[in-house]
């Protein structure tokens, strides 16, 4: 089974700062099958990035994804107040079909 490890667990930043979130896979993952989600308290996850680097519909361009193989990154260029949330990476594989990282919480410093 592929394990996705996200780091850091918590990121304390101020609005306007840059956020860099990491997702490391225990085995190589196809870039086509790596996605990022944002989740706020009491809400369902929202798709941000798919195919490692393609923004989903309606996602602002301050969100960007990169990486390949076992190392992937979500970058938020300038944090807006509404960006403080938990972020999950997810991969599509064989068994289990979907694997999620444990999440990175971006909190206001």
What residues make contact with other proteins under the rule CB under 8 A? Answer: 32-33, 35, 37, 39, 43-47, 50, 56-57, 88, 90, 92, 95-103
Whichever of 15 and 104 has its CB closer to other proteins, that residue is: 104
C-alpha gyration radius of the chain: 13
CB of 16 to other proteins, least distance (A): 28
Q: Which two tokens stand for residue 2?
A: 């592929």
- Full DSSP string of 21-47: EEEEEEEEE-GGGEEEEEE-TTS--EE
Kind plus residue range of the DSSP H or E element containing 68: strand 63-76
CB of 106 to other proteins, least distance (A): 15
Whichever of 33 and 70 has its CB closer to other proteins, that residue is: 33
């Amino acid at each position: 089974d592929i394990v996705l490890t996200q780091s850091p667990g918590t990121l304390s930043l101020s609005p306007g700062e840059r956020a860099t979130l990491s997702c490391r896979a225990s085995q190589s993952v196809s870039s086509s099958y790596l996605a990022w989600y944002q989740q706020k308290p009491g809400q369902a996850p929202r798709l941000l990035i798919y195919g490692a680097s393609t923004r989903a519909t309606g996602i602002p361009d301050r969100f960007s994804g990169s990486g390949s193989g076992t190392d992937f990154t979500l970058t938020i260029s300038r944090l807006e107040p509404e960006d403080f949330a938990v972020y999950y990476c997810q991969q599509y594989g064989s068994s289990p079909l979907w694997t999620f990282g444990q999440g990175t919480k971006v909190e206001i410093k």
